[in-house]
A and B are shown apart, each in its own frame.
Chain A
Amino acid sequence: MMDERFATGNSLLHKRDPKVKVIVAAAYITVAAISNSFAVVSLALALAFLLLLLSRLDLRQVGKRLLAANTFTLFLWLTLPLTYGGEELTRLGAFSLSVEGIRLAALISLKTNCIVLSLITLLGTSRIASLGHALEGLHVSRRLCFMLLFSYRYIFVIYQEYQKLKRAAGMRCFVPATNIHTYRTYGYLFGMTLVRSWNRATRVHQAMLLRGFNGRLIPLEQRTVASNDIVFLVIGLAITATVASIPFFYR
């Protein structure tokens, strides 16, 4: 869980300042997400594969992540062509396959893969802590940055606490079934996890206060944006703008 497998490396992308990567990723993903054009999304996906080559990540591991993401698109392929309506492509017994449905499923699949790939290659190549500080550096609301950093630190602890409670229930012969006893027990487990997390949050806050915390996390690493980072930012945004402007040229 949260092993940040992709964050260690020495590639071009690993060495870039996280602030710059966050900006490029945000712009690039926005374009890919809101575009309705196959040309834009396909090109964006192709460029995302180029990023993958640049990042020199373990292709098998990336493939696994993509596979996981595509289990969701699989459901779209199972439902959209049958339910979307519009022009009929062909009939399979009682079902009709819709052209529009297939087009939409294909577009969403391309977008999904493009976004996941660019997220892995741009943001996955930084540690979450650095991303948190980067967001703070970009003047994103401090509360949101804290939430990211602390979720990262404590999600594992909270998960362990939930597992502990679940084990304790199992030790007393609790077997989940479809009945009110099971629902109530899970309700208690979730509720208890929530209460414990709340109490822990209080204690963590106390620990921080005792060590002089006054509302601002001061990063230990004062990263300065290097000229290479600026070059990367300009090229990244230029490519994003080019990709986004394709539909306006081919009208």
Chain B
Amino acid sequence: MIELRDISYTFAQAKDPVLHHLTFAVHDKRIGIIGPNGCGKTTLFHLMVGLLKPDEGELLFNGKKVSTKEELRALRKEVGFLFQSSDDQLFSPTVIEDVAFGPLNLGFSPKEARDVAMKTLADLGLTGFEDRITHRLSGGEKKLVALATILAMRPKILLLDEPTNNLDPKTRSHLIEILLGLDLHQIIISHDWDFLSHTTSILYKIDHGHIHRCEENHVHVHRHLHIAGDHPHQHDPL
């Protein structure tokens, strides 16, 4: 699948590299990625889909080095990336046009693209949304529609960048349900530990430019008492 080999990346005008000789391969089905703000989690995703070019190291897809535009297109067809801000992802006037955008680019006929889009919307419980105006959707609806736009391309790997930001509890549990029902590789960046405990089985942590698997501190369920504890919430790590 996707592999980053010995990658280093430094932001323009930054002194130290944000990712430093990092190697990461997607083998497992459900991977969570944690780490402090600015540690390079989103950068890692951008490198994985070729939006950023590493200073050193290489991106491999199905064991082959990705260098040409065509190879990049082939990779992006298989990898869906859900952005942090859905407004960045929904650029068409109506929901159906946005969901059909990917399939149309993949060469589907307008009719096929519409059918795929409608089916994807139905799968996510969004039937009846097709003619809604994208910028008038609520935050939660935008997130689900953005997910639909990606799933409509039938990817094999899903990259989710802080998917639960600003979601209400109901949409959040709906999203968990959806993700658990999807049989594809999922890599999730989140600060929402409870969410990760539901959706992922392996955690990686990015720290000082490196990534390591969290063997010792595994996510677990525990009980304790505090105000508004019946609402989904998160705790400071460690």
Instruction: Please state if B73 and A153 are interface contacts (CB–CB under 8 Å).
Output: no
For window 81-118 of chain B, which residues contact chain A by CB distance below 8 Å? 81, 83, 85, 87-89, 91-94, 96-97, 100-102, 104-106, 110, 113-114
Q: Which residues of B are found within 8 Å of A127, using beta-carbon distances?
A: 93
Instruction: Please state if A203 and B88 are interface contacts (CB–CB under 8 Å).
Output: yes
CA distance A34 to B30 in the complex (A): 66
Instruction: Please state if B81 and A210 are interface contacts (CB–CB under 8 Å).
Output: yes
CA distance A211 to B76 in the complex (A): 7
Instruction: Please state if B76 and A209 are interface contacts (CB–CB under 8 Å).
Output: yes
CA distance A206 to B83 in the complex (A): 10
Nearest-CB distance from A86 to chain B (Å)?
Answer: 50
Q: Which residues of A are found within 8 Å of B102, using beta-carbon distances?
A: 211-212
CA distance A237 to B102 in the complex (A): 39
Chain A 146-163: CB-based contact to B (< 8 A → 1; otherwise 0) = 000110111011000000
For window 18-70 of chain B, which residues contact chain A by CB distance below 8 Å? 46, 49, 51
Residue from the list B89, B100, B114 in contact with A207, Cβ < 8 A: B89
Nearest-CB distance from A21 to chain B (Å)?
Answer: 18
Chain B 179-212: CB-based contact to A (< 8 A → 1; otherwise 0) = 0000000000000000000000000000000000
CA distance A214 to B77 in the complex (A): 13
Instruction: Please state if B135 and A222 are interface contacts (CB–CB under 8 Å).
Output: no
Whether A129 sits at the interface, judged by CB under 8 Å, is yes
Whether B149 sits at the interface, judged by CB under 8 Å, is yes
Least CB separation from A214: chain B residue = B105
Instruction: Please state if A210 and B104 are interface contacts (CB–CB under 8 Å).
Output: no
CA distance A129 to B95 in the complex (A): 12
Instruction: Please state if B106 and A153 are interface contacts (CB–CB under 8 Å).
Output: no
Whether B134 sits at the interface, judged by CB under 8 Å, is yes
Instruction: Please state if A211 and B110 are interface contacts (CB–CB under 8 Å).
Output: no
Residue from the list B49, B79, B87, B149 in contact with A157, Cβ < 8 A: B87
Give the interface centre of A127, A149, A209, A210 by most chain B CB atoms within 10 Å.
A210
**Known A-B contacts A153-B134, A200-B88, A218-B105; A210 and B51 likewise in contact (beta carbons under 8 Å):** yes
Residue from the list A204, A206, A220 in contact with B96, Cβ < 8 A: A220
Q: Which residues of A are found within 8 Å of B94, using beta-carbon distances?
A: 129
Residue from the list A129, A204, A209, A211 in contact with B93, Cβ < 8 A: A129
Nearest-CB distance from B211 to chain A (Å)?
Answer: 22
Q: Which residues of B are found within 8 Å of A208, using beta-carbon distances?
A: 91, 101
**Known A-B contacts A153-B91, A220-B96, A220-B110; A211 and B85 likewise in contact (beta carbons under 8 Å):** no
Q: Which residues of B are found within 8 Å of A38, using beta-carbon distances?
A: none
Instruction: Please state if B113 and A220 are interface contacts (CB–CB under 8 Å).
Output: yes
Instruction: Please state if A222 and B110 are interface contacts (CB–CB under 8 Å).
Output: yes
CA distance A127 to B92 in the complex (A): 13
Nearest-CB distance from B156 to chain A (Å)?
Answer: 14
Whether B7 sits at the interface, judged by CB under 8 Å, is no
Instruction: Please state if A212 and B134 are interface contacts (CB–CB under 8 Å).
Output: no
Q: Which residues of B are found within 8 Å of A154, using beta-carbon distances?
A: 91
Instruction: Please state if B150 and A211 are interface contacts (CB–CB under 8 Å).
Output: yes
Whether B157 sits at the interface, judged by CB under 8 Å, is no
Whether A213 sits at the interface, judged by CB under 8 Å, is yes
**Known A-B contacts A211-B149, A220-B96; A204 and B110 likewise in contact (beta carbons under 8 Å):** no
Instruction: Please state if A153 and B92 are interface contacts (CB–CB under 8 Å).
Output: yes
CA distance A121 to B79 in the complex (A): 45
CA distance A53 to B94 in the complex (A): 29
CA distance A127 to B97 in the complex (A): 14
Residue from the list A203, A219, A222 in contact with B83, Cβ < 8 A: A203
Q: Which residues of A are found within 8 Å of B144, using beta-carbon distances?
A: none
Instruction: Please state if B51 and A206 are interface contacts (CB–CB under 8 Å).
Output: yes
In the complex, besides A204-B91, A211-B105, 12 extra interface pairs with C-beta distance below 8 angstroms are A149-B93, A152-B93, A156-B135, A157-B135, A204-B88, A206-B46, A208-B101, A210-B49, A210-B51, A210-B79, A213-B101, A220-B110
**5 CB < 8 A contacts A-B:** A153-B93, A206-B46, A207-B83, A209-B51, A211-B149
When A and B form their complex, which 5 residue pairs have the shortest distance between CB atoms, in order from nearest? A212-B105, A129-B93, A203-B88, A211-B102, A218-B104
Binding site for A on B (CB under 8 A): 46, 49, 51, 73, 76-77, 79-81, 83, 85, 87-89, 91-94, 96-97, 100-102, 104-106, 110, 113-114, 134-135, 149-150, 153
